Structure 1
């Protein structure tokens, strides 16, 4: 299981702040959360970046360790 934490627009689209997902890669996380929360979240995810255990990740095929934390971060305005 991995912990998925949603921020800003991703949180609004998912309707939850966090949840545990059974997934072994970032791509599997994306597939699982879109399956759970639908098209609205899918649209938001296209603009999101991801942190895996605090490190930026873009590799959807990279394996995740059990207990990993995946932060879903939409673009933020401001500075």
Structure 2
């Protein structure tokens, strides 16, 4: 765990990859309740190839991240 967000109208966490993982980076997931009652989810990801073999696939890394982001958002939406 990198950090935890524990505020009255914001909750969430961020985590990072472990040493030796094929990709080096972190992801954060935060849910925010606005004064008007609207609820927003924020997901952010930062990464780079962590091993020699993932450097070969570096051009497709952003595509994989977008695909995973879509899966996270689908899960939050109950799809």
**Both proteins in one fold, TM over 0.5:** no
- TM normalised by structure 1 equals 0.26
Q: Higher RCO, 1 or 2 (CA under 8 Å, sep at least 6)? A: 1
- TM normalised by structure 2 equals 0.26
Structure showing the higher strand proportion among its residues: 2
